[in-house]
Every structure is written in C-alpha cells, then in structure tokens.
Structure 1
Amino acid sequence: MNASTLVQKLWNYCNVLRDDGMGYGDYVEQLTFLLFLKMADERTQPPYRQKSIVPAAYAWPTLVAQDGDELFDHYRHVLEALGQQKGTLGLIFGKAQNKFQDPAKLRRVIVDLIDKENWSALGVDVKGDAYEGLLEKNAQDLKSGAGQYFTPRALIQAMVDCIAPKPDEYVCDPACGTGGFLFTAYNYVIAHHPNLTREQKQHLRENAFTGVELVQATARVCAMNLLLHGIGSETSVPVQVTDALASDPGERYDVVLANPPFGKKSSTMIVGEDGRTTSEKEIIERDDFWATTSNKQLNFVQHIKTLLDIHGRAAVVVPDNVLFEGGAGETIRRKLLHECEVHTLLRLPTGLFYAQGVKANVLFFDKKPASETPWTKTLWIYDLRTNQHFTLKTAPLKREDLDEFVTCYHTANRHARVPTWNADAPEGRWRAYRYDELIARDKASLDIFWLRDDSLAESDNLPAPEVIAQEIVDDLEAALEQFRLIAADLGGGGSALED
C-alpha cells in the first residue's frame, strides 16, 4: 500500500466520524493512541519478540476483544491508566481523553482500520508520509488552529538542504511542533550517507534528535510522527514537554532548526477583585541572554544561540519584527552580528503559513568563540518575497521554488558564493551586505529590500484577485499584531484588540 492510498483510507474514516462532531485534530489524536498500542503489540510478535512497555491489562488485544459499551468503558480506562505512567507512555497518553461518541465507530476504527494493517512492517516512507498527510490536512483546517504547529514541508526541506546535517551530529528543534524539522534532517542524513555504520544508525535512531514542545497534545503527535519515521522506539521518543524558554537546559547541539511560535508576547491574564482583567507580561530573565524582553521571537533567537555548540549551525524562521524592532531587538541584532557569523537571510513571501498575517524570514547563523572583532563579515540576502505570490491552496510553495536559493546558498563552500544582483542585473534576488553597512543602518535593521515591486509600477502585472485579497488580509493581520504589541507595551494588556 502506498502513502496516498493509506491517507485516503485513514481520511475516509475521519469523514464518517465528523458526523459525530469529531474534528480533524481529535481524529489524529485518537489515531495516535490506537496506532501506538497496535505497534507496541506488533513488536512483541516475531521477528521482534520485544517486551512491551504497555501493561498487559491495557494492551492492544484487550481492545480488539471488546465491543459495545464494554469497549467504550475499557478504552477510557486504558487512556486514563496509561496517561498516569511515566516516560514514553506518559508522553503519548498524558491527559488523553476518549473523543469517540459511538462505540460502534470506535470498534470500526480498531478492527477495520488499525488492526488490519501491520504497521511495523510498512516502510517508514509509507506510514510516515501517511501520518504527515493527515497532519497537513489538519493544518489546513484554519478553525482548528493546528496550522501554527505546521511549517510548510517545502521550506523545511530547503532549510535542511542548506544546513546539511551529518551522521554523527546532534540536532535540536526547541519549538518542534509536529516534528517536521527533525525527521527531515533524519531523512537527509540517511539519503546522503548510504554507507552508515551500525553505530551511526543507532545514534540517528536513539540519540541524534531532540524536540521540545510546550503543548502536550502537540508533543504526543510529534512523538508518533517521529516513531513512524524511524526515530526513537516504543520505549524512548526524543520529545520533551516543557517551556523551552524557561531556562538554559545545559545541552549543546551541532545543529538547531526551528520555526518558533509567532504571535503575541507571552502574558498572563489576571482578574482583579473588581472583575477587570489586566495582562502581566512574562519577561524572560536569563543570565545567558543579551537582553531582557517579553518578545517571544527575540527570546527564541537568544535561546537558540545558547543551545548551539561552538561552530554549531542554526536556521530559524523569524517574523519581520525580529529584523527591525528597536530596544531589545537592536541590542540582540548587534550582539548576534558580533558574536555569531550571521551569513544568510532568506526573505519569505506571504501566503506560506496557515497562521495568517505572518511575514517571515529564515535567518542562518553559526555560533563562534569569543572574539574582540565581529564574526559577521558579510550577510547574504535572498529576496523571495518581492513579486512572488503564493497561496496555501491554489499556488502553494513547492521545493523547486527554492532551488535558486539553495544553489546560491552554496552549502559546499559558502565562501564561493556569487551574487545574482549587480548594476547590470537589477532584478537579481541574491545580494551581499558588509558588516559595516549593516551596523550603520538605523537600529542595525536587517529589514532590507532592493527589488522594484512590479505591482506598484504597472497595473498589467497585478496578480490574480484572490492573491491580492489574501495579501491584504496578511497585511491587516500583521498590522493588527503590531497594534496588539503596542497596546501591551502601553500597559493596557491589549484586551480591546484580542480576538
């Protein structure tokens, strides 16, 4: 069975369950519980013959043997009991709830869908791609909010191709969402190093990758996604459920790949005795940070700098405000340019993310040893935004849309880069700026453009009406987000502007 056939089969059941009010996200979550139990049972059979971490009283055969209300009651007890376990079981089943409304439909999913497949025998490309297909469909359901945890896979692939992780390296995503960066990095190493030793394969499966996720429900989906892609095992999945920004974890990594959460500053709503609500901003104060700020994205940039080992490489998606914001933003940019080699900036077009109103970039930098002179010599910028128009459904970003950027990035030797922009080629999208030019800019802003916007010059070049409409929505969403931040800074908590 191929991935598309399996996705269709899985999705057909979801359409049946939606009539009972089960949303896409709930369906993916229930599948995660059942798939884990089925795969754990499969590993006890030949040729594996492994001891299951699932207590026998809650193992897969006990679900298959039940029907009707007895199955419903038993399934609820299984979720509750396993959610109280530690380790991998606690990660997968923590706070789990039965979202099925009809015992007969739960029975159908167990017997007709999950039990009929040998999931452990399916290739990781089939079952991994099938699960990914479900996650992408869930992300497309804007009402669910799942899109904020889903980075476009074409962008992830290009970022990993540029970073080029190696077999013996340690890779971290401190805001891992559904795990896209981690398994893509794993796939990259497998594809580019066909003669891995047994020890290297074990390292990749058990030690190489670490994901951190704040939301329990997302972490469990990530854990299953990694398992289906061949990372970890039923006894150990490299996902931690914690607030990545709370402290320096101590571990250091060769590679950090991340798309930290966008949106409002971290804040806690407080209800006073008079019933009025105020917002208490969560200022992150850490000795390893250059500046103290409540801006989540700026704090993630500082946190990623901490996570990197010396000469470690990072590729991180950041919203535009990280490039131009004053105050702490300026301090962080100047420190980053001095203490790290900030060598590449990819300006992304709008219309890529399921979270609307996002204008984003990818910042590539390497951590370096202490130095009196700045490590950044030249910042190369690729503008994929000007005169580029993408939408999530009718014109989605494809990996080939990033081919020129990846070629220009020149992973094999970054010092051999050649600009595509010059006085005779003003439409070139690849251009270099020296450190002294960057530092001399107001607030050391990295928000740099040079291409002419054709839509402003000639009406004949206007994009399709639906693209224009979506760009207007994106601009308004981005402006509203900035107003929220301003309102919070003024002490009003932004309550009048909340959704």
Structure 2
Amino acid sequence: MVVALKKSDLYSSLWRSCDELRGGMDASQYKDYILTLLFVKYVTDKAKADRTALIDVPAGGSFDDMVALKGDKEIGDKINKIIGKLAEANGLEKVIDLADFNDEEKLGKGKEMQDRLSKLVTIFADLDFRGSRAEGDDLLGDAYEYLMRHFATESGKSKGQFYTPAEVSRVLAKVVGIGPSTRQDNTVYDPTCGSGSLLLKVADEAPRGITIYGQEKDNATWALAKMNMILHGNEDADIQKGDTITSPHFTAGSQLRTFDFAVANPPFSFKSWSNGLENEYGRFELGRPPVKNGDYAFLLHILKSLKSNGKAAVILPHGVLFRGNAEANIRRELLRRGYIKGIIGLPVNLFYGTSIPACIVVLDKENAQARTGVFMIDASKGFIKDGNKNRLRSQDIHKIVDVFNRQIDIERYSRMVPLREITDPKNDYNLNIPRYIDSSEPEDLQDLHAHLHGGIPNRDLDALGGYWDAFPSLRAMLFTANRPGYSDLAIPLDQVQQAILDSEEFRKFAEQARSLVDDWFAAHRPILQALDADTVPKDLIARISDDLLIRFKHTPLLDEYNVYEQLMTYWHDVMHDDVFLIMNEGWLDAAKPRKTIEDKERKLSEDPDLEVGSGRKKTKYKMDLIPPALVVARYFADEQAEVNTLNAAAEEAGRAVEEYIEEHAVDDGVLAEAMDDGKISKALATTRLKEIKRYGEADEIKALQHLISLYSAEAAAKKAAKEAQADLDAATLNKYGDLTDAEIQTLLLDDKWAATVQSRVAGEVNSLTFALVVRIQQLGERYADTVEALSAELENLEAKVARHLSDMGVEV
C-alpha cells in the first residue's frame, strides 16, 4: 500500500514515525533519525525516477535494502552499514551517518529495537517520492519544514535555534531584493545558516537560480543543512562547518569573501562570541561590540561580507535599536554611512530559541551615502496564535513585503523616517520603532457632556468614516441631529443590524464583492482547468492570489489583505492537496472513490465520506477530491430533497412518541404503570399491553395501543428514510464512475473552490457589518441614560424606600 502523496497524508505519516521514537530521547535527538530516513528514502526514490540524479544510490545502500531488514535481529547495525555505503558513495561521511541506529540507550535492546526500527522503516516505505520534484512546489520540502517546525517546538529554548520559521524566512527573502531579475551567478550567504531553511527560502525567490553559501557551527545542525540542500535540489550549495566569528571559512587572504546578498538569524545576544577570536578581518572598524553581547558582531560581519552594492536582511533582538555605549556608537556610524535601509519590527514569540520580540535590519550598501532616511515598519500586531508560538499569516507576510518594497506610508504601521529626525538630539540615533511610529489604537474617550445631556458625540461617528464612505446614506438613516456636535439613534438599538443588512447600499456593497470574486475566478479558470503534471503549485497560487489582492485594493472598507488571507488559508488547508492529487493522478483518477484505510497495526483509521451496504457487506469510501455532497447537489437534488422530507417525517414521528410519553407517563398518568426506570420502550409497552389486555383499565389499554402505533409509525418512517438514503448513496457512488473530465472540473473548480472562496469573502463582508453594529450599540448604550435621568430615577427609588420604611413605623 502506498499512501496518497498529498501534504496532509505525508505530514501525518511522518509525525507517526516520530511517535515510534518518543520516550527514548528528546526531539533534538530523534529528529536526526527521522530526517536521515527521510533523506535515504527520498534519494532512493529519486534515483529510481531519474537515472541522472546527482546522488548515487549504490547496491546495498538504498532504502529498499532497509525494507528487507524488517524483523531482522541485527536491523540497527545493518541500517548503519546501509547509510554508510550511501554516504561513502557520495562523499557524505559525517553528514548522513551521524545518527546511530544501533544505539541501545535510545532505541532499546533486542526485540524492542527490532520492532521499533521495523515499524519506522514500514512507515517510510508507505511513502512514494518518485513524483516529488525539488524544482517545483516541492512536497518533500514542505514535509521537511513541517518536521523542523515540530522538532524546534519540542526541543525547547536551548535546542530550538536550528530553525528559522518559514514565514519569517519568506519575509527576509523578499525584502532583501532577490527576484526574477536576479542572475544565476549572484551569490547569497548565511553565516549562521542552521539547517539551511532561510537560505532555501531565498533561493526560492530566484527563479533563474542563485549560488548558495553558508556556515554553521553545530555539527549535527550542519549535517541537517547539507541534507536539506540535497533534498531541495541544491546539491552544489557550499555549506561549511565552524564558528563564523572566530573561524570564518569564506575568506580571500586576509579579507572576508564578499557576496551579493546575505541573510541571517544569528543567536540572540551571544555572550561568548569573542572567545578564541584572533583575526578580526577588519570587521569592527565601525566599533567593537560589547564583550558579552554579540549581536553587532554578527551584523558587522555580514556588512563586511557584502559587495559594494550588496544587500542583507538580518534578524536581531530589538535591543540593537536602542542600547547605549559601544552599541550606540556602532549604530551611529551605520546610520551616518547610510548602510541601514530599513527596520521591520516583528511580533513577539515567533522564534523557537526565545520569546522576546525581534526585528529585521535591512542593510544596503548601494548608494548608501545618498540615503536620507530609514524606512520603518511596525508589524508587531500582525500574527496568529499557533500552539504556544505566534506565527505570521500569509497576509502579514504579503503586507510587510508590499509596504517595504514600495516604501508605502501607512498610519500606525509604516513610514519613511528622515535621518534628520533620527539624528535630532532628542532621539540621538535611537532607532526604537515606537519613537517614530505610534501603533497604539486611539483611546476610546468618554464624553462627559453626552453623559450629562444625552446624545452620541459626532466625533465618535466621524471615526467610522470608512463605513459612511462605503454606505453614503446609511448615517442619515441611522442617526438624527440632537444638538450641535451630537446625534441620536433614529431606530431602536435591536433593529440596527437588520436595518444595515436591509439597506440598498449594503446589498450593493456585498454584490460588488461577489462580482469581484466571480470575475477573478473566471479570469483564472482556464489556468486551473489546465492543471496537469507540469503545474508548479507555488507559481499558480502566487499568480491567482496576487490578482485577487489587486482586485480588492480599491474596494472601500474591505482590507485587501484580509481577502487575500481567506484564499491563502483555503489553499493551505484544501486546495494545495487537491492540486497535488490532480498533478499526480490526473483528473479522472484523482476523483475516483477509494476504500478507506483501516490498519490497526499502524493505528490508521480514516473517517469515511460514504458508506454503501450494511453489516459485513458494508464498504466505506473516501472521496479525496470531490466530496459526495457536491455530486448530490448537482445530480441528485430531487433525491436529496426526498431524503430530507423522509428524515423530517421520521423526526416528527419521533417527536410524536416523545410528546405522547411526556403527556401520559407522568405520576398518576395513564401510562405510569408501564414505565421502567423512567422509560417506556415499544417492547415494554407491548409486554404491558399483553398483561392487562383482559382485565386492565380501558384507558391504559387504549393509550398503550396508541403508543405502540406511534412507535410503529416512527420505525416505518426511519426505515423509509434509511432506504432512501441507501439508494441515494449507491446512486452517488455509481455516478463517480460516470463522471467525465469536464464534469469533474465543474464540480471541483466551480462547486468546490469558487463557491468556498466566495463564501469566505462574503464572511469578511459580514464581519465588517457586525463590527459596525457592535460599535453603534456600544455608543447607543453608553449615552442612553443621562446623569439627570439617572438622578431622577435615584430620587424616585429613595422616595419609595422612605415610604416603605414609614409604613413600617421607621422614622427616616
């Protein structure tokens, strides 16, 4: 059995492989085993599909040789030898052979190790990477990222620094200036490359290719980076091992070698950066970093490693922006020479090694002396919670990149800060972003005059200007003038929402949004209809998502990035898998039902989409591409309506039973004697009727007969509904076999994808409306009662209390 090679299946399979190793070691250790097996499996499958593959898989050095060892008492030692042969054939000694598969302390002794490794090999054997292409939207690359993210999460603060979150990596890759025009002979360098994920994201931005250089201090992490490069088709990447500050490998005599681009996520505030430092290579001519804080040591190393027109993006803690003493002097020199192009403040808790907030410092040597300002972005509020970490959403990434690359000023988010403002004595070269961008939400001030005399302050209504621009006559419909500067609600609070939804302008606004989505999808439908094995998914989604964002750019009120996020979330959750199914299997085969996987040994059990037959003859099916509901809606609407009618009748018959029992099975009720433990089933009613048929009370006999008839009617209704549903399910299953390519495309593209995106965007429109309703209700309730009215009510209540006390003979 080969698991369908789609993202969700691959992820779950790989994470099950981790389950086999949990307990004997922590994530920072078992990641080496999992990623090594992933590597061997991938290169083995790749060699089968491509005889010209750069990685040579020798006899006795393949994953197939591992599969043959399942159940072997010496499986651990023999796996080590297989990996050794593969390493020797490709010069990968001390790279792919670091994990010891015969380690009894980690993997158990005897039968325990034998079973554990046999299960592990079986999980990987079920995956088929022959169709995975490193040069496209590489599914294997996604899986590698998935594992690295989970390993980093589980490894904790001390061991989670080998991985830069993919979302942050994409931001660095896009703001550093690499793109379609980047030449293949351009170079990119990461002096603290970890597992190489950041370098690979940069390489993804260069369609013509780019030459990769990196250095990593930790031996195991360096090995991961080497494997990562091969897995992503970058076998020629030059990844060196060693400490970048004390022993830089990329040198030219007494100077550092220079590169076109650099990206880095160095260890934050590294205290022992200068231990063993002998040759400074001229890196600290702008100032020497503090002995116990290496942030600027890495930044200056990167600056020195750039060509005269080189560009870099570096992740650093916020402290580098404002700390004093030696760091202040370095910062002053960097600004005076114009090397800092921009600063991007990121949300807290994005990184696995620390929870502190970080920023991206963008360096650019080109025309540095002519630079007159620093472009700043405060992106600290754009994220989503993901477990115990925060994560940038697709919309956050796109917005940061758009705004930075186009240098767009947005209130409370971004601005070009003139150097004269930064160098002003009150700021004194301090780059702390809140000094220049106030990202706080305006305070919701209470109006004392409104509390005293009533009315909603017009300034609060003016603050909702975006809504009045989108719906020009809505304000006049909802509010009337009270006195200068104040207004009253023209309708009751509880009618505000319906009034907005019913307004002609809101209907036009919602229709405009629907039309934009319809036009967008119609424009791209031919491309989607042409999906085949040569499609590059990442290029496809980039093209259609960017166009959706552009189409909504000038729509009042709606944030185009929120609309974009709706599509991207659906892409990651569903569309990506659908595209891969079509690429790997074609339209017809991808749409075919398949029997669900039931494997108790591997703890695999799928929830069926459709069940046909009953008892032992019941067969369960999964429809990976086209859900049965879509087939039913398009081809069996009348049959579904009939099933719905029968189900409603069955529910009504059930309610009739319940209501009759509730009415007559109470204490002293006519059916009280037939009750057993508070219940009365058809069997109990039948038994009771036999007992009293000759000598019982007529009323009880009649009631029991009626209850039995109600139970019979319910059973008949349920049977009719069940039979109709079974007929519909069988017809639906048969229909899958008759579907043509064109019908499958209609079901997938129009009924599934387009309809879902349309629904999600409509949800954005509705959420805007609800936000307006909530604010209007808040203002209405806030100023509904004046102080004068409250005082009068208080006096009235006090008078009532006084009268009551007087009536009781109490003097007040």
Question: Corresponding residue for 1:431?
Answer: 415
Question: Using a 3 Å threshold, how does the CA distance of structure 1 residues 346 and 50 change in structure 2: closer, same or farther?
Answer: closer
Question: Corresponding residue for 1:159?
Answer: 172
Question: Corresponding residue for 1:419?
Answer: 409
1:444 paired to 2:440:
no
Q: TM-score, normalised by structure 1?
A: 0.73
Q: CA-to-partner distance for each residue in 1:99-151, whole Å, 9 max, x for gaps? A: 433122212222x2223434343233211101111111112225374432222
Please tell me whether the aligned partners of residues 175 and 258 of structure 1 are also in contact (alpha carbons under 8 angstroms). Answer: yes
Matched AA of 1:437: E
1:7 paired to 2:11:
yes
1:214 paired to 2:217:
yes
Please tell me whether the aligned partners of residues 157 and 354 of structure 2 are also in contact (alpha carbons under 8 angstroms). Answer: no
For residues 42 and 354 of structure 1, the distance between their equivalents in structure 2, rounded to whole angstroms, comes to: 32
What is the Cα deviation at residue 315 of structure 1? 0.8
Question: Corresponding residue for 2:349?
Answer: 351
| Greater shift in the superposed pair: 3-12 or 151-160 | 151-160
1:405 paired to 2:403:
no
Question: Corresponding residue for 1:241?
Answer: 241
| Greater shift in the superposed pair: 71-80 or 4-13 | 71-80
Question: Corresponding residue for 1:334?
Answer: 332
Please tell me whether the aligned partners of residues 322 and 431 of structure 2 are also in contact (alpha carbons under 8 angstroms). Answer: yes
Please tell me whether the aligned partners of residues 170 and 397 of structure 2 are also in contact (alpha carbons under 8 angstroms). Answer: no
The equivalences for 1:176-255 within 5 A come to 176-190=193-207, 200=208, 204=209, 208-232=211-235, 236-247=236-247, 249-250=250-251, 251-255=257-261
The equivalences for 1:65-464 within 5 A come to 65-66=68-69, 67-77=71-81, 87-94=91-98, 98=103, 99-101=106-108, 102-110=113-121, 112-124=122-134, 125-143=138-156, 145-165=158-178, 166-168=182-184, 169-190=186-207, 200=208, 204=209, 208-232=211-235, 236-247=236-247, 249-250=250-251, 251-266=257-272, 285-290=280-285, 291-293=287-289, 294=291, 295-368=293-366, 374-385=369-380, 391-393=385-387, 396-411=391-406, 417-421=407-411, 428-441=412-425, 444-450=429-435, 451-452=437-438, 454=440
For residues 5 and 44 of structure 1, the distance between their equivalents in structure 2, rounded to whole angstroms, comes to: 23
Question: Using a 3 Å threshold, how does the CA distance of structure 1 residues 144 and 459 change in structure 2: closer, same or farther?
Answer: farther
Gaps of 5+ in 2: 252-256, 447-812
Question: Corresponding residue for 1:194?
Answer: none
What is the Cα deviation at residue 69 of structure 1? 2.9
Q: CA-to-partner distance for each residue in 1:154-209, whole Å, 9 max, x for gaps? A: 2222222222412422111111122222221222223xxxxxxxxx4xxx3xx611
Gaps of 5+ in 1: 191-199, 269-279, 412-416, 422-427, 461-499
What is the Cα deviation at residue 215 of structure 1? 1.0
Please tell me whether the aligned partners of residues 171 and 401 of structure 2 are also in contact (alpha carbons under 8 angstroms). Answer: yes
Relative contact order (C-alpha < 8 Å, sep 6+): which is higher? 1
What is the Cα deviation at residue 443 of structure 1? 5.5
What is the Cα deviation at residue 86 of structure 1? 9.0
Question: Using a 3 Å threshold, how does the CA distance of structure 1 residues 13 and 46 change in structure 2: closer, same or farther?
Answer: closer
| Greater shift in the superposed pair: 280-289 or 30-39 | 280-289
Q: Secondary structure at the match of 1:445?
A: coil
Decide which structure has the larger Cα Rg and report it: 2
What is the Cα deviation at residue 11 of structure 1? 0.7
For residues 215 and 100 of structure 2, the distance between their equivalents in structure 1, rounded to whole angstroms, comes to: 19
Q: Secondary structure at the match of 1:246?
A: coil
Question: Using a 3 Å threshold, how does the CA distance of structure 1 residues 145 and 309 change in structure 2: closer, same or farther?
Answer: same
What is the Cα deviation at residue 10 of structure 1? 1.0
For residues 66 and 383 of structure 2, the distance between their equivalents in structure 1, rounded to whole angstroms, comes to: 49
For residues 62 and 212 of structure 1, the distance between their equivalents in structure 2, rounded to whole angstroms, comes to: 33
Count of aligned positions: 415
Question: Using a 3 Å threshold, how does the CA distance of structure 1 residues 327 and 8 change in structure 2: closer, same or farther?
Answer: same
Please tell me whether the aligned partners of residues 170 and 255 of structure 1 are also in contact (alpha carbons under 8 angstroms). Answer: yes
Question: Using a 3 Å threshold, how does the CA distance of structure 1 residues 132 and 454 change in structure 2: closer, same or farther?
Answer: same
What is the Cα deviation at residue 224 of structure 1? 2.5
Please tell me whether the aligned partners of residues 252 and 309 of structure 1 are also in contact (alpha carbons under 8 angstroms). Answer: yes
More helix per residue: 2
Matched AA of 2:218: V
What is the Cα deviation at residue 297 of structure 1? 1.2
Among all aligned residue pairs of Structure 1 and Structure 2, give the percentage whose two residues are the same amino acid: 25
| Greater shift in the superposed pair: 237-246 or 75-84 | 75-84
Question: Corresponding residue for 1:463?
Answer: none
Q: Secondary structure at the match of 2:74?
A: helix
